[in-house]
Amino acid sequence: MPKLTYRDASLAAIQHSMREDQTVWCVGEDLGRGGVFGQYKGLREEFGESRISDAPISEAAIMGAAFGAAMIGTRPIVEMRFSDFALCATDELVNQIAKARFMFGGQSRAPMVIRKPMGLWRSSAAQHSQSLESWYVHIPGLVVVCPGTPQDNYSMLKAAIACDDPVVYLEHKGIWDLEGDVDFSKEYEFGKAEIRREGSDVTIVSWSNTANLAVEAAEALSEQGIDAEVIDLRSLWPWDKEAVLKSVAKTGRLVVTHESVAVGGFGAEVVATVAEQAGHALKGPVRRLGAPRSLVSYAPNLEDMLRVTSEMIVTAAQETLKKAS
């Protein structure tokens, strides 16, 4: 298996999909020069301007044009550059794209991938650092995914391109250089979590880059004799309730952690589901970690105060065990 970066894994997924299907194309700002993060590098040279389309600086126009193209039979990959910028196209996404199949009685569809790089990226400040995944989970009609590894950024992007529903595809912009083995034959099924580490003492549920931190925390916990199971949800809608409930039934303890703001975050949905369907299995208090409801500062020292760290995850897991009597 080749070792690829998170960036190059997504690039390979697009290359393979575009070679296999002539209806797949990309549209967004700066694609001709390879994209703001280099995630489209070389595609213009291979596929030409008609399939790697540079667009004006108007997110609403990009999203709307791609929606029209999707409705007549193509499969656009829409590049929003930053999840924050995509808010300029919220009406097209939420009121048009998400509702098209329902409003037209299944006669029309919107097979689109909307790439929205998310998360903290050093000194990018309040307008370029948000994680807004829980917003899109709230909207019926949208598939919402958050790949956290190179393998997932290959397999999940290929699956998203082939999907007949609109997929909000949230890549973490802080891990473009993360390396890992990528098996091009490995397929992804929406709604399936991955158990990144098996364990018996505490369940840690996460997604995106925070799932990588959860794995680090689990390794640190193992040195203390605590056997943590790490579940990377990967897909937030649909999400793998069964995997989480099965794990909690085994461990009796739960930590849910994500980079986005804790207030109203998707972690609350996970906790509520466990409380409702597996509360009897809990041996200790549930812990939920997320960012405080605060704007992200440009200053690195203040930005760091909003980060969930592997050390925080370790502490949260320890607390579920200390109070479990």
Q: Are 217 and 228 in contact (CB under 8 A)?
A: yes
Name the phi and psi angles at 139, rounded to 5.
-100, 110
- Told to judge if 128 belongs to the known catalytic residues of this protein, a careful annotator would answer yes
Helix axes 208-222, 310-322, angle to 10 degrees: 60
* Marked catalytic residue, from 128, 138, 172, 280: 128
Q: Are 313 and 289 in contact (CB under 8 A)?
A: yes
Total residue count of the chain as it appears in this document: 325
Q: Are 4 and 12 in contact (CB under 8 A)?
A: yes
Quote the Cα angle for 213-214-215, to 5°. Answer: 90
From the CA atom positions of the chain, what is the Rg in Å? 20
Rounded Cα distance, 309 and 255, in Å: 13
Q: Which long-range contacts (CB under 8 A, 24 or more apart) does 90-95 make?
A: 91/60, 92/60, 92/63, 92/64, 92/67, 93/63, 93/139, 93/142, 93/166, 93/168, 94/139
* Residues noted as catalytic: 128
